[in-house]
């Protein structure tokens, strides 16, 4: 936070007053970057329906897997990454996924929220397997699970 404050030419106190905490600042920054990746993936989508949702997800996951700074953050600060990604960023990802899933089909009341939550958890299990204490998941298996959720 000291380095960020200095680069912004503000005091640490001012930075904390605005950002509230390092975790909150990280969540905002990670979501901003992730949302941009998600928007680009949505713009590149070439098919509709379930296949379009999965195409967006493949693009999004591929971009995050190839982002060396993001992978370093997961490796160097697993506790912080778990707190920030699986709580604050997760909530935002579920909201974004709801918008994507609305494009697939009409959902019964209350089911859209649950489907978006489960879909994001499947994607997170691929992206953050090491944070969740597991080994990397087979991408084909994760995609089949996501597809079945959308069917």
H-type helices in the chain, by residue range?
A: 2-8, 12-19, 22-44, 49-65, 68-76, 78-83, 90-102, 111-127, 139-150
- pLDDT per residue as tens, the chain (151 positions): 566 555 666 566 665 566 667 788 889 889 999 999 999 999 999 999 999 999 999 999 999 989 999 999 999 999 999 999 999 999 999 999 999 999 888 898 789 999 999 999 999 998 898 888 877 778 888 999 999 999 8
- Whole-number Cα distances in Å, 102 to 39, 44, 60: 16, 18, 18
Q: pTM to 2 decimals? A: 0.85
């Amino acid at each position: 936070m000291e380095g960020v404050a200095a680069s912004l030419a503000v005091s640490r106190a001012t930075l904390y007053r605005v950002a509230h905490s390092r975790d909150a600042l990280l969540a905002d920054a990670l979501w901003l970057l992730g949302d941009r990746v998600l928007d680009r993936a949505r713009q590149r989508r070439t098919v509709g329906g379930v296949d379009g949702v999965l195409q967006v997800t493949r693009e999004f996951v591929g971009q995050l897997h190839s982002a060396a700074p993001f992978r370093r953050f997961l490796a160097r600060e697993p506790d912080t990454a778990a707190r920030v990604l699986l709580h604050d960023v997760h909530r935002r990802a579920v909201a974004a996924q709801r918008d994507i899933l609305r494009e697939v089909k009409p959902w019964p009341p209350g089911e859209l929220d649950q489907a978006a939550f489960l879909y994001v958890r499947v994607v997170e299990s691929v992206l953050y397997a090491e944070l969740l204490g597991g080994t990397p998941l087979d991408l084909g298996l994760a995609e089949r699970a996501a597809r079945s959720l959308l069917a």
